[in-house]
Amino acid sequence: MDAYRYHIDDLIRRSPKITAVRIGTQLRAFVDPDLEISQRALREYVANRRREIVGKEAFVRAHYFPGDEMQFDFTPVKLVVSGVLTIVHLFVARLSYSARLFARVSLREDQVALFAGILGAVVHFGGVPRVGVFDNAKTAVTRILRGRNREENEAFRTFCGGLALAMEYAAPAKGNQKGGVEGANGFIEDNMFRPTPECESVEEFNLLLEHFCRADEARTSSVHRETIGERFAREQPTLRPLPTVLPAACVRRIARINKFAEAICDTNRYSVPTQWAHRDAVLELFEERVRIVVDDQVVAEHKRCTGKHQTMLDVRHAIELLAYKHRSVERAEIIMQSRLPAPLLALRDRLLAHDRARAGRAFVTVLRLLLTYSSEVVAECVSQALVCGTLDPAAIALLVRQRTAPLPPAAPILALRAPEGVQRPVVDLARYDLAMLAEGRL
């Protein structure tokens, strides 16, 4: 390869990131069409020349002051949640002076998870640092401008303004500019995610992460020869106090409720009461739930879907419409997708088999009980009614009322004792006029 050294060096100087494969292609195209060399030998030779020509980048050691900076970042990790292997997103925040950590996992790496992570970090630290350092994720940055300037996302800028947290951003592809949190990510992965942990819920695992971060205070820094707890004790008083009213870890969006009384967000469908169809609504997205607001009134609240093209429907929202269009009970999606208890679906099928023409009205009458009573109680009473062989909605309603409001126990009957000395009176029939009795006058 020394015969081609001049050409290889020239290509590396002109384009320091050019690959060995591309260099081989250029040599065969413009220098020697008959060049034959293995890929491994070519890579090794190019790597040696690159080290001599380009060299490795040198870095400047940074010095931080208490309360000056917090770095945060996301990284994907694996977690077994309720027996299912799940890709979750680990948020890590690190105070640059004391190296105090905060970590939590979420099912998404979206703006809501970012807000929840930042809010959890400043509450965990008990104050707000002067500046936060993040990369150029779309959840925070709309456009990268010249130098350090960024066009921030409006929602992100508003959230940080609510905490009085100034933001700085690392240069693109320069992870070393927030190397503290990059190393903290690896540290937490090594100690908490190898081997893959198991838990029943994300909330349960977040409690374990919080306990790990608090216990990490006892670790001695290899650079400062002090424990993290000692340095944090000096840094915590210098943090800005938390605002009286914390900003909500929430993202708001405008949506149009469609003709099926559904609000669509991120390809997922959420039901609302049918009287709000064809109206504009505000969707408030939290990590675990979605609230739908129309005219300053919360009209529906659902558990937030975790994937795409999913549905979260509540049959109670459509009871009035189903009462009017009772024939649709047989094929209504909102009944099939509302996760109704099995006894209610069995009742619907029995009603349809018994009298299809009147089945819809009877089933809606039972569904109305869900507006007052829990689905568990209604399902138990429906099961009891089916066992007894009745499909009568009135009988089911009676069972529900008896189960939720049992009759008070009967009052004990007290036998009255006759006072001593009192004699039963003796009736003298001779005193009555038998003639008057015969005439019916008495």
**109-147 pLDDT, tens per residue?**
999 999 999 999 999 999 999 999 898 788 888 887 777
Same domain, 306 and 328: no
More confident residue, 322 or 418: 322
Say if residue 439's pLDDT is above 80.
Answer: no
Contact 153, 111 (CB under 8 A): yes
Kindly state whether residues 138 and 258 are assigned to the same domain: no
pLDDT at 309: 92
The answer to the question of residue 416 being in a domain is no
The predicted pLDDT at position 306 comes to 85
pLDDT (tens digit per residue) in 412-421: 655 555 555 5
33 within domain boundaries: yes
Task: Please state, as a whole number, how many other Cβ atoms lie within 10 Å of the Cβ of residue 412.
Answer: 5
Residues 323, 300 within the same domain: no
User: How far apart are alpha carbons 103 and 213 in whole angstroms?
Assistant: 7
Residues 77-102 pLDDT 10s: 999 999 999 999 999 999 999 999 99
211 and 73 co-located in one domain:
yes
pLDDT reported for residue 251: 92
Burial zone of 189 (CB within 10 Å; 0-12 exposed, 13-18 middle, 19+ buried): middle
Q: Using DSSP bridges, classify how beta strands 289-294 and 297-303 pair: parallel, antiparallel or unpaired.
A: antiparallel
Q: Provide the pLDDT for residue 315.
A: 93
> What's the total number of domains in the chain?
4
Mean pLDDT of the chain: 87
Give me the CATH number covering residue 129.
3.30.420.10
Q: Is 434 a member of any domain?
A: no
Q: Tens digit of pLDDT for each residue in 228-244?
A: 999 999 999 999 999 99
36 lies in some domain: yes
> Does one domain contain both 132 and 272?
no
> Of 209, 238, 267, which closes a domain?
238
Per-residue pLDDT tens digits for 143-197: 877 777 788 888 899 999 999 999 888 877 665 667 788 889 999 999 999 899 9
3-state secondary structure the chain: CHHHHHHHHHHHHHCCCCCHHHHHHHHHHHCCCCCCCCHHHHHHHHHHHHHHHCCCCCCCCCCCCCCCEEEEEEEEEEEEECCEEEEEEEEEEEECCCCCEEEEEECCCCHHHHHHHHHHHHHHHCCECCEEEECCCCCCEEEECCCCCEEECHHHHHHHHHHCCEEEECCCCCHHHHHHHHHHHHHHHHHHCCCCCEECCHHHHHHHHHHHHHHHHHCECCCCCCEHHHHHHHHHHHCECCCCCCCCCCEEEEEECCCCCEEEECCEEEECCHHHCCCEEEEEECCCEEEEEECCEEEEEEECCCCCCCEECCHHHHHHHHHHCHHHHHCCHHHHCCCCCHHHHHHHHHHHHHCHHHHHHHHHHHHHHHHCCCHHHHHHHHHHHHHHCCCCHHHHHHHHHHHHCCCCCCCCCCCCCCCCCCCCCCCCHHHCCHHHHHHCCC
* Residue 49 shares a structural domain with residue 144: no
Counting other chains too, the contacts that 274-280 makes at CB distance below 8 Å and 24 or more residues apart are: 274/317, 274/318, 274/320, 274/321, 275/320, 280/254, 280/255, 280/256
| Residue range 347-362: mean pLDDT, rounded | 92
Looking at the fold, whether 296 and 322 belong to one and the same domain comes out as no
Domain, as residue range, for 26 = 2-53
Does residue 102 lie within any of the structural domains? yes
| Model confidence pLDDT, tens digit, residues 268-299 | 999 999 999 999 999 999 999 999 999 989 99
pLDDT value, residue 177: 65
- Best CA proximity match to 85, nearest among 76, 94, 97, 93: 76
| % the chain with pLDDT above 70 | 90
Please, which pLDDT band fits residue 338 given cuts at 50, 70 and 90?
confident
Top-confidence residue, 425 or 259: 259
pLDDT at 430: 63
Same domain (yes/no): 178, 205: yes
In a domain, 60, yes or no: no
At 40, the amino acid letter reads R
Q: Give me the phi and psi of 293, to 5 degrees please.
A: -115, 130
Contact call for residues 81 and 202 (beta carbons, < 8 A): yes
pLDDT tens-digit map of 1-15? 888 898 999 998 888
One domain for residues 124 and 230: yes
pLDDT of residue 337 exceeding 70: yes
Question: Same domain, yes or no, for 174 and 115?
Answer: yes
In a domain, 437, yes or no: no
Check residue 139 and give its pLDDT: 82
- 61 within domain boundaries: no
Peptide bond before residue 195 is cis, with ω within 30 degrees of 0: yes
Tokens coding 316: 């109670």
pLDDT at 319: 93
CB atoms within 10 A of CB 347: 26
Residues 292, 148 share a domain = no
Q: Taking a C-beta distance cutoff of 8 angstroms, is the pair 117, 287 a contact? A: no
Res 424: pLDDT: 64
Same domain, 283 and 186: no
Q: Is the pLDDT of residue 390 over 80?
A: yes
Residue that is last in its domain, among 312, 328, 346 = 312
